[in-house]
């Protein structure tokens, strides 16, 4: 009798384990810094095509801390971030693992992925210079923001925001630490007000004639044009692609990575492959007003109206190596004070 009970218990446990494994094999778990409306259509299409359910945890911050706390028991398979700084933070803390496939290898240009295959770009965006239309069309370099003619005429969000940190890091890669510090000090001297608000708030300030020039990511322009209340801000500015006569405009990314302890690796890789496929890249670009990272996939019609541009071809991995130095220089320049 005891043997029968023991056998039944073992069989039940085995059946339960098998059931759990079956459920797990039909799921993929995503931790995302990207907003739901940007990624949910993609996940719905992936589930429709593969039958794999996508479970998502959305957050604005704290992803690295959560993964660190969860350790090897973390359910996270895929991590989606809004920029290179957050990808590098995850990598530096040892929270990623390499993911490779023929699709990933061919779809993502070398400058937009990690040399050890721990992270990949999904979309790209330019760190544009916006200028008031009342000034007429102007060709800008980032270096020009230090010119005294812009004294009291520049608006920007915090220098320590990841988007600006990445730009400063690219300046260090191009000009070195000393020249970049001088540039930061001169840009600060040209500010119309203390760094504050969002990228959109800077365009609003130009519309309100509080300043004439600002820094901002390209996709915000599209978002403002599609917003009834904010369209008047966007209509007041030109979107300028900097450094077109030399190295090209600084480009940042949204990206993805496989979590170190991903419990559903096969499904995670399937989702990564889907996200860089041509249909998904087109869908993603249409939704978020960014540029597809996969060569040959066209941006949305609205984004295309802004014109073509030359991008800085310096690897984001190289730029990211200067991230900590960029933060040090921003402190030295007392940029946000």
CATH number of 126-250+311-332: 3.40.190.10
Contact of 306 with 288, CB cutoff 8 Å: no
- CB proximity list for 256: less than 8 A, separation 6 or greater: 78, 79, 80, 81, 119, 120, 122, 272, 275
Q: So what's the pLDDT on residue 155?
A: 98
Greater pLDDT, 5 or 318: 318
Q: Would you say the C-alpha torsion 216, 219, 221, 227 has a positive or negative sign?
A: negative
Nearest to 210 by CA among 239, 238, 187, 233: 233
Q: So what's the pLDDT on residue 205?
A: 98
Q: So what's the pLDDT on residue 35?
A: 84
Nearest to 28 by CA among 55, 63, 49: 55
Q: DSSP class of residue 310? A: P
Q: Tell me the average pLDDT of the chain.
A: 91
Q: Is the pLDDT of residue 10 over 60?
A: no
User: Phi and psi (nearest 5°) for 213?
Assistant: -140, 145
Banded model confidence at residue 26, pLDDT cuts 50, 70, 90: confident
Contact of 323 with 177, CB cutoff 8 Å: no
Q: So what's the pLDDT on residue 22?
A: 34
Q: So what's the pLDDT on residue 7?
A: 35
The CA distance from 74 to 203, in Å, is: 41
Query: Hey, is 113 helix, strand or coil?
Result: strand
Q: So what's the pLDDT on residue 273?
A: 98
Query: Hey, is 256 helix, strand or coil?
Result: strand
CATH 3.40.190.10 fits 26-124+251-304, yes or no: yes
Banded model confidence at residue 2, pLDDT cuts 50, 70, 90: very low
- 286: exposed, middle or buried (C-beta count within 10 Å: 0-12, 13-18, 19+)? middle
What is the β-pairing status of strands 154-155 and 291-292? unpaired
Q: 269-274 long-range CB contacts below 8 Å, 24 or more apart?
A: 269/99, 269/101, 270/28, 270/50, 270/52, 271/28, 271/30, 271/46, 271/52, 271/54, 271/77, 271/78, 272/78, 272/99, 272/101, 272/104, 272/120, 273/101, 273/103, 273/104, 274/42, 274/46, 274/49, 274/50
pLDDT tens-digit readout, 129-179:
999 999 998 999 999 999 999 999 999 999 999 999 999 999 999 999 999
- CB proximity list for 14: less than 8 A, separation 6 or greater: none
Give the global pTM.
0.87
pLDDT tens-digit readout, 292-310:
999 999 999 999 999 999 9
pLDDT tens-digit readout, 101-135:
999 999 999 999 999 999 999 999 999 999 999 99
Q: Is the pLDDT of residue 68 over 70?
A: yes
Q: So what's the pLDDT on residue 9?
A: 36
Least reliable range by pLDDT among 196-210, 253-267, 277-291? 277-291
Contact of 100 with 112, CB cutoff 8 Å: no
Q: So what's the pLDDT on residue 25?
A: 59
Query: Mean pLDDT, to the nearest integer, of 20-28?
Result: 58
Q: So what's the pLDDT on residue 64?
A: 94
The CA distance from 233 to 201, in Å, is: 9
For the chain, give every domain's residue range. 26-124+251-304, 126-250+311-332
- Are the folds of 26-124+251-304 and 126-250+311-332 the same? yes
Q: So what's the pLDDT on residue 16?
A: 30
Q: Is the pLDDT of residue 31 over 90?
A: yes
Q: So what's the pLDDT on residue 24?
A: 46
Q: DSSP class of residue 138? A: -
């Amino acid at each position: 009798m005891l043997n029968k009970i023991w056998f039944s218990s073992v069989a039940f446990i085995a059946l339960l384990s098998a059931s759990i494994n079956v459920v797990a094999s039909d799921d993929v778990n995503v931790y995302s810094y990207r907003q739901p409306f940007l990624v949910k259509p993609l996940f719905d299409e992936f589930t429709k095509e593969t039958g794999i359910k996508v479970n998502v945890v959305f957050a604005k911050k704290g992803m690295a801390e959560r993964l660190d706390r969860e350790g090897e028991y973390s359910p996270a398979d895929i991590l989606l971030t809004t920029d290179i700084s957050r990808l590098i933070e995850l990598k530096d803390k040892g929270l990623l693992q390499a993911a490779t496939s023929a699709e990933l290898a061919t779809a993502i240009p070398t400058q937009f992925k990690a040399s050890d295959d721990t992270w990949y770009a999904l979309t790209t965006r330019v760190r544009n210079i916006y200028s008031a239309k009342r000034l007429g069309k102007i060709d800008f370099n980032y270096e020009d923001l230090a010119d005294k003619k812009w004294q009291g005429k520049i608006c920007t969000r915090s220098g320590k925001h990841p988007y600006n940190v990445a730009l400063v890091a690219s300046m260090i890669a191009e000009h070195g630490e000393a020249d970049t510090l001088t540039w930061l000090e001169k840009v600060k001297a040209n500010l119309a007000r203390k760094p504050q608000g969002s990228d959109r708030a800077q365009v609003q300030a130009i519309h309100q004639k509080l300043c004439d020039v600002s820094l901002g990511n390209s996709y915000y322009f599209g978002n403002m044009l599609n917003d009834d209340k904010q369209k008047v801000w966007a209509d007041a500015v030109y979107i300028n692609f900097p450094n077109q006569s030399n190295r090209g405009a600084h480009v940042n990314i949204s990206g993805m990575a496989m979590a170190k302890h991903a419990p559903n690796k096969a499904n995670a890789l399937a989702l990564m492959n889907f996200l860089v496929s041509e249909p998904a890249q087109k869908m993603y670009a249409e939704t978020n007003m960014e540029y597809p990272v996969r060569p040959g996939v066209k941006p949305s019609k609205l984004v295309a109206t802004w014109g073509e541009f030359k991008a800085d071809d310096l690897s984001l991995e190289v730029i990211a190596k200067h991230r900590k130095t960029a933060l040090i220089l921003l402190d030295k320049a007392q940029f946000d004070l």
